[in-house]
Structure formats: structure tokens, C-alpha cells
Structure 1
Amino acid sequence: MAISTLPPLAERLRPATLGEVIGQQQLLGPGMPLRIAFESGQPHSCILWGPPGTGKTTIARLMAYAFDAQFLSISAVLGGVKDIREAVERATTARDGLEQRRTIVFVDEVHRFNKSQQDAFLPHVESGLFTFIGATTENPSFEVNSALLSRAAVYVLQPLDEADLKQIVAKAQAIDAVPAIEEAAVGRLVAYADGDARRLLNTLETLSVAARSEKLDHISDDWLLRVLGERMRRYDKGGEQFYDTISALHKSVRGSDPDAALYWFVRMLDGGADPRYMARRLVRMASEDIGLADPRALRLALDAAEVYERLGTPEGELALAECVIYLAIAPKSNAVYKAYNEVKAFIKKDGTRPVPMHLRNAPTKLMKDLDYGKGYRYAHDEDGGFAAGESYLPDGMAAPGFYRPVERGMEIRIAEKMRELQRRNEGAAR
């Protein structure tokens, strides 16, 4: 059997011009930031932040091509200071040679470099020896040195949407890289790719090899499921099953059933759900269904999310599982959730009421002369730290009672406190 000498499909379909790029139109469309940078003729250092397979490397390569610059790529996973020194030498040679050529140094997964390695770029970025482009899947605010960050614009890339991914499938078919694919199979592939163009192309390439070995003239949905295996079959990440399963998890937590909640949680992980997404949903559950009945629940959910970010899979998943069980057994209250929605609805239909004079800030003499802040009672100087009888609502607005604590968990004590404060207010009004 002959070995294919063709480059990988992802490389064959890599855009050669800016107009061929699929997706990221919020950055590359007419009048958008990166398009303006390309058209300016002046490269600048930047950090491309986005999930895998969204075009970070492609954009960096196109920038080098647009500015006729030498393109040097460093992998922060495999490279080190030696690679940085080598890049500096090559950039110096290109600058001082006959062609006096610019250099773009592209650092993939830049967040993997430590502080000293990132610092090694600073003097050369500052001097203009080369243009630095970093690619990262992590938040640059936390993973990139502030000194380097201050010298580079940050561009946020988004996962490719369904239309973008279908366009990529069509491009692969246009060059006969893959056989014909049933519409249902295309939809399943797009959902499986989850916004990652590289994942889509690698999967297409695998399917193409398998289909040709079986002498198939097209790819059906049934065949696709059989070839890609159990993982795709049991969990449709972009379809109805995904939303049904997260709904079952949320309702199991709300219903205080830790076994059921843990079951649905592990089902989602086993099916390929992003644990970061799961962590976000747990934070939401802590706010929506537990609230002030147990304020520790929100802190625990945030801690579990942070643990996962630090440890990753599989170690960090245990912290998320611990959170699921805690949320399920915690006392439940949707009082904060209901109060927030009531206030939103009230403000939407109500007029814009002025801030009462005694509650206004008075940082200038003019404002004080206009009675801003006049009559305000500083609660810390009052008996028990409470200014009984004071009003903090707009003038003429009756106490609406948006927040109504339930008789469960910590909200039992909150309700008692509110009743006591109400008694004191009524006593001061007599």
C-alpha cells in the first residue's frame, strides 16, 4: 500500500490570504481591528487568545506574509531560552542583511513559558528587533507577564460557529479530500468539532482514509457513528441530549438528590462535556437555587472551578464532584433569584427616579452648597450601627419588599434580622 505524500488536510486547507480565512470576522472583517492592522502596513506585537482550532497560527502566518517578514515559530511546550536566543540571532541577521527584512516571532502556547522566559522577549520587542505574536488558550491577564502584556495588543478569537464549520467541510469536499457526506453526518461532525476547525479537519481526514479503504462513495450518519465510536454515539454535545442532560443535573441538585446529581454530572463528563462549562453551571446553581440559604455554596463552587483550572483532568474533576454533592444537600432558596428578576422587571417599566439629596455624593464645595448629602445619617455612628427610620429608596417610593427570605438554612436568621430592623424602623417613625 502506497504511503500518501500529501500534507495533512489542515495544512492543505490553511488560508493563503486574509480573504480565505473562515470565521473571526469580529477581528478580520472590514473596519475590524486586525483587518486595520493588516492594511496599515505596520506590524505590531499582539497576543491571540482563543480556544484550540480557531485560527491563531494561521493569522500569525498571514501577518508575516502580509508584511513580507521572516516567520519564526517557537513552541512554548517544547522550547526554551535557547530557542529565544536563536530567534534573536536570526532576527538580527535578517534586519542587518542586504534585504533588511522584518521578523515576526510567533510563540505558540505562550502561557507555558515561565516569567523569566517571557521576560527574555521584552528588550527585543521594546527595541523593535522583531514583532512578537503570542498564541494562548488561557486568559492572558493571568498567564502573561504584565510587562509583556503592556507591549502587546490582545485579540480574542471565538470558537467557529456551525456555518463556519460547514463551510470548511465544503472546502475539503471541493478539493476531493473527502467523499460526499450525508447532511445528517455533516451536522454531527460539526457538533463533534465544537468550534475547533483543527479537530474537524483531523476527523475528516481520518474518515476519508477509512471510507476509501472500505471503497465507500459517501459517508452516512450510521457509518460515521460506527467509525468514530462510542464517544460520539452516547453524547451529542451540540444537540438535544446535551441540554436534556444538563437540565437533569440542575433539577437533581435543586431537588436535593445527591446520587442523581452525581450520576448526571459523571454522565456529562463521560460524554465529553467541557468541565469548565460544568463548573460555570455549578456556580449558577449555587446562586440560583441555594443563594443565601447557604452562602458557602457559592464560595465552594468558585473554589471547585479554580481547583479544576489548576489541576485539569482528571484530578480537578473530583473537586467539581464534591461541589455537586454539596449543592445537592445544601438548603435551598431562590429568594435572591426571584428578587433580582423582580427588580429587573420593576426598573424596566418604572421611570428614572432621582437619587434623594441626602444619599448623593458631595465631593466639591458646589455640591455641598446645593445640599448634596445634607441630612445623611452615618450608620456606624448610630445605635447598633443602624440608622432607624432612615430611607434609602427614591423619594415617594414605597418599600417594595423584593427580597423575601425563605425559612430554610441561613435565611432563617436573615429573616429574623430583617424583622428586627423593621421593628426598629417602625418604632422610629412613631
Structure 2
Amino acid sequence: MSTDDLFATAPAAPLAERLRPTRLDEVVGQTHLLGPGKVLRVAAESRQLHSMILWGPPGVGKTTLARLLAEASGLPFIAISAVLGGVKDIRDAVEQARLRGQAVVFVDEVHRFNKAQQDAFLPHVESGLFVFIGATTENPSFEVNAALLSRARVHVLQSLSEAEQQALVSRAAQALGVTIPADAAQALMAWADGDARRLLNAAEAVARVPGALTPQGVAEVLGARQRRFDKGGDTFYDQLSAFHKSVRGSDPDAAIYWLVRMLDGGADGKVLTRRMLAIAAEDVGLADPRGLELTVAATQAFERLGSPEGELALAEAAIYLAVAPKSNAGYLALKAARAVVASDGARPVPLHLRNAPTALMKQMGHGVAYRYAHDEPEAFAAGQTYLPEGLEAQRFYEPNDRGLEAKIADKLARLRAANGPVG
């Protein structure tokens, strides 16, 4: 064999590339967009393609769908990678579109382009020179310029269902000429975590190893299971929101599930402790002040122990906060007070509440008629007011009837009754 022959044959493309759909009918999943009468199916069949943002997790077919939509519409397809490209690539795409009359310009990872780069598309989308299709794994509301977003429709692509993933495993088995047992298929799907590209390429990697098409073989060939997680993106904040709402809703099982999901995905434990401190103050509040104390202790324990030992402290705090009585009365009081302060004038401090460290201040009436609460029965100066003039009847804090706040509510009712009518 000559030296030239060694380089004559190109390496085979990965299975995911070999099985990439060539027609819309071959696409697995996204039936809410591609089913009969659905928006993208109608756009392709009518050849009336509109500018759009395809938003979804990795491996759900954003690039493939963009290419197939362009082909179905009879338009040339020009692809740009925002990871590798820049303004020059945008100019080249514009020139190509002009030469061809019109084209679909596809920008992968469009959120990676800065504002100026995204703005460069606007006049050409506006003029109809090209149909713009951007693909992103990040929330377009935050990552795509409002001007570009207003000229494109956002279509959300969904992770493949278990049945759809099983269909891909069947395609992989047929292409590879192997039988993939159900338990091995389940292990492959769990490892891929909804990513079609990872699923197909994982199936190919395992099938190459004799006898590896078993759950144990999948684990040995592929290594640790890879779950989809983005410490700074929507997946993380969605899970953090689910955790917060589970604790607020007094569901300890769901709270622990989402906590573990985030820890398993590599979330920073300090971020989780900050959220739990906020929950203790906002959602448990004075209904059970021990919730904040325990969460502070859990935070300190985690900082000293780290993972995995410190995770038990986080779990205990999450469970405690979930089962504790709930009150957002403190949060509402702060919010109400802020609203009044923001909208009201700078009212002076009443004279009886002012200090009088000098003779002049005493002559001016500072501190006059102030009653020292500790000298009064039950350490309460009935009838004395502490808010500025005109706000004496204002109520910011209204405790509920759960946990310790039920006792606080009873005490406040007695004190307010002792004060008598206000205003």
C-alpha cells in the first residue's frame, strides 16, 4: 500500500451524522411544530418561511430542522457559527444572499454573538434579503437583542420523549446491524439524557465493543452518566425555581429531589445555601424563626465540610424548611414599607422620638413626652406612637395564624387594643 493510499479514505462520520434526517418526515420529535397543520409544517409546505429563533436543549435537531426547512422552501442555506464566526462571516453571508437573490441564513449558538453582531442582521431581515434562523440553548428573552427578537418568531424545541428516544435506538440498531436489548437501550437513553446526538453516538460506541450491549457494558464503555445541566443557564434556574416552590409548598420529597438534581449536576453548594437562606426569611419567616437559624448553621457546616459530607446539612435544612409552618408576612411588610417610603415625602421624626443630648435640643422639644417603655406596665407605653405624623394608622406587618406567628398575632391584637383608636 502506498503512502497516498493511507490518506485516501476519509474516516467514517459518526452515526448521528450518518442518520441525520434528509426530509422533514424523518425528523423524530417536535411534533408540536412539525405535525400536520402545525406551524413549521405549514410554513415549509407553503414555502412561506419566516425568520425564527429555535430554542431548545442540545441534541434536539435545531441545525437539522433549519436545513430541512430551507430545502423544503427551495431557498439556499447559508450557515454561520457564532462560536467561530464574526462580522466578516456576516458580511460574507449577506453577499452570498445577494448573489442568490434570497437565502436562509442560519446562525448556530446565536446567543454568542454580541449586540453589534446581532444588529448587523436587522436591515437584511427587514428588507427580506434573507430569512434569519437562529439556534440557541439559552433563553432568547435574555440572550437575543430585542430588535432582532421582534423580527423573528421563537419556536421552542422539546427534549425527546422516551418513545421518541426508543425510535432512535431502533434506527441505530438497524444501521449498526445489531440487536440492542431493552435494558441496554434504557441505559443508553439514561446516559444521553434526552440528547439525540449523544444517544446515537453512544449506541455506536457501545456496539463496537463485543458483549457491551448490557447495562453494565454501557456504564463501562461510556463512563459516568451525563445529565444535562448548565450552572449559569435556564436549566439551573428552572431547577432552582422548582426547588424553591417545592419548599414553599411544604413538599419535602420534591425539595430533596430538586436539591439532589442540582448537586448531581454540579451546582455550587454556596448558591443553594443562599437560596435556602432567602427561603427561610421569605417563606418561613417568623412562623418558625428556627428555620433561619438552622439554615445559617447548615451554611456554615457546608462551608467547613464541603461536598459530599456537607450535603447532608443542606438536605436537613431543606427538609426542615419544607415542613416548617409558612409565613411571608415579613416579606410583605418590607414590600409595603418600601412602597410607602418610595412614594411618600421625607416625613420628619416626631419630636418625642428625637434624642436630646444638648440643652438647645431640649429647648426645641426633643424627647418631650417620650415614655420609656420599660417603666410602663408590661414594658408597653400604651397610646404612644412611633410613626411619623400622618402615618400613625399605617399597618405594614400583619402576622398570619401559623406557627409562632399565631402567638405574635394574639400579642399584637392585645397591644393595639390597649393603644386605642389611632389617628
Q: Take 1:276 and 1:145, find their aligned partners in 2: how far apart are those partners?
A: 29
Shift of 1:152: 0.2
**What residue is the counterpart of 1:221 in the other structure?**
215
Partner residue in 1 for 2:20? 14
8 A contact 2:193–2:228 mirrored in 1:
no
How many Å apart are 1:330 and its aligned residue?
A: 8.9
Indicate the residue corresponding to 1:207 in structure 2.
206
Which SS does the other structure have where 1:181 is aligned? Answer: coil
Residue 193, structure 1, aligned to residue 192, structure 2: yes
Identity of aligned residues (%): 44
Deviations 1:47-94 (A, max 9, x none): 000000111111101111101111111110110001000001100000
Match for residue 406 of structure 1 among 403, 407, 411: 403
Q: Determine if contact 2:59/2:195 at 8 Å carries over to the other structure.
A: yes
Aligned residue in 2 for 1:136 = 136
Which letter maps to 1:19? D
Change (3 A) 1:328 1:287: closer
SS of structure 1 residue aligned to 2:77: strand
Change (3 A) 1:153 1:279: farther
Q: 1:336 aligns with which of 308, 312, 326?
A: 326
CA 1:281 to 1:190, structure 2 compared with 1: closer, same or farther past 3 Å? farther
Give 1:122's aligned residue: 122
For 1:362-377, what aligned pairs fall within 5 Å after superposition? Answer: none
Offset, 1:21? 1.0
Q: Given the superposition, is the C-alpha separation of residues 124 and 204 from structure 1 closer, same or farther in structure 2, using an over 3 Å criterion?
A: same
2:284 is aligned to 292
Counterpart of 1:152, as a letter, is: A
2:159 alignment counterpart = 159
Query: How many Å separate the matches in 1 of 2:286 and 2:400?
Result: 16
Question: In structure 1, how many angstroms separate the alpha carbons of the residues matched to 2:35 and 2:42?
Answer: 9
Distance 1:134 1:165 in 2: 25
Summarize the Cα distance change of 1:291–1:208 in structure 2 as closer, same or farther, 3 Å threshold.
same
Residues 185 and 221 of structure 1 are in contact (CA less than 8 Å); yes or no, is this contact kept in structure 2?
yes
Secondary structure, aligned partner of 1:89: helix
Instruction: Return the alpha-carbon distance in structure 2 between the equivalents of residues 83 and 4 of structure 1.
Output: 27
What residue ranges of structure 1 are gaps of 5+ in the alignment? Answer: 96-101, 238-245, 302-316, 340-379, 388-400
From 232, 240, 246, the counterpart of 2:225: 232
Task: Name the SS for the 1:134 alignment partner.
Answer: strand
Task: Give the aligned residue type for 1:117.
Answer: Q
Do the aligned residues in 1 keep the contact of 2:273 with 2:314 (CA within 8 Å)?
A: no
Deviation of the 1:274 alpha carbon? 6.3
Give 1:384's match in structure 2, choosing from 380, 388, 393: 393
Give the residue type in structure 2 aligned to 1:334: A
Mark the CA change 1:285 to 1:404 in structure 2 (over 3 Å): closer, same or farther: farther
Distance in 1 separating the partners of 2:216 and 2:185: 12
Partner residue of 1:59 out of 41, 65, 69: 65
- CA distance in 1 between counterparts of 2:185 and 2:269 reads 24
What does 1:356-367 correspond to in 2, within 5 Å? Answer: none
Structure 1 residues 185 and 65: alpha-carbon distance in aligned structure 2, compared to 1, 3 A threshold: same
Instruction: Find the residue that maps to 2:408 and give its secondary structure.
Output: helix
Aligned equivalents of 1:276, 1:130: Cα separation in 2 = 43
Aligned-partner Cα distance in 2 for 1:286–1:223: 44
- Matched to 1:13, the amino acid is L
Deviation of the 1:269 alpha carbon: 6.5
Work out the CA distance in 2 between the residues paired with 1:172 and 1:131. 33
Q: For residues 198 and 289 of structure 1, what CA distance do their matches in structure 2 show? A: 43
- Contact persistence 1:50–1:56 (CA under 8 A): yes
Distance (whole Å) between structure 2 residues aligned to residue 141 and residue 273 of structure 1: 24
Q: C-alpha displacement at 1:144, in angstroms?
A: 0.4
SS in 1 for 2:190: helix
With over 3 angstroms needed to count, the CA separation of the structure-2 counterparts of 1:286 and 1:150, relative to structure 1, is same
Task: Say whether the 8 Å CA contact 2:125–2:132 is kept in structure 1.
Answer: yes
- 3-state SS of the aligned residue for 1:72? strand
Q: Distance in 2 between matches of 1:220 and 1:332?
A: 40
CA separation in 1, counterparts of 2:80 and 2:109?
9
1:171 paired residue number: 171
Distance 1:329 1:30, change over 3 A: closer
Cα distance in 1 between the residues matched to 2:68 and 2:279: 44
Map 1:42-53 → 2, pairs under 5 A:
42-53=48-59
Query: Offset of 1:200 from its aligned partner?
Result: 0.6
Deviation at 1:18, TM superposition (A): 1.4
Quick check: 2:280–2:321 contact (8 Å CA) kept in 1?
no
If the length of structure 2 is used for normalisation, what is the TM-score? Answer: 0.62
Q: Is the contact made by 1:290 and 1:331 (CA closer than 8 Å) also made in structure 2?
A: no
Q: What do the CA deviations read for 1:108-143 (whole angstroms, capped 9, x no partner)?
A: 000000000001111111111110000000000000
Measured after TM superposition, the shift of residue 5 of structure 1 is 4.1
Give the RMSD, CA atoms, in angstroms.
4.8
| 1:191 Cα deviation from its structure 2 partner | 1.3
Partners of 2:21 and 2:64 within 8 A in 1: yes
Question: Could you tell me which amino acid in structure 2 is paired with residue 51 of structure 1?
Answer: P
**Residues 33 and 138 (structure 1 numbering): CA distance in 2 closer, same or farther, change over 3 Å?**
same
- State how far apart, in whole Å, the 2-side matches of 1:284 and 1:157 are: 32
Shift, 1:186, TM fit: 0.6
Unpaired segments of 5 or more residues in structure 2?
1-5, 230-241, 296-306, 330-388
The one-letter code sitting in structure 2 at the alignment partner of 1:232 is R
1:304 aligned partner: none
Superposed CA offset, 1:226-271 (max 9, x none): 2223x139x999xxxxxxxx99xx99xx9x9xxxx9xx96x8678x
- TM alignment of 1:249-264, pairs within 5 A: none
Choose which of 20, 25, 30 in structure 2 pairs with 1:24.
30
Alpha-carbon distance between aligned partners in 1 of 2:272 and 2:162, rounded to the nearest angstrom: 23
Distance 1:29 1:277 in 2: 42
TM-superposed CA distance for 1:224, in Å, is 1.9
**Equivalent residue, structure 1, for 2:408:** 416
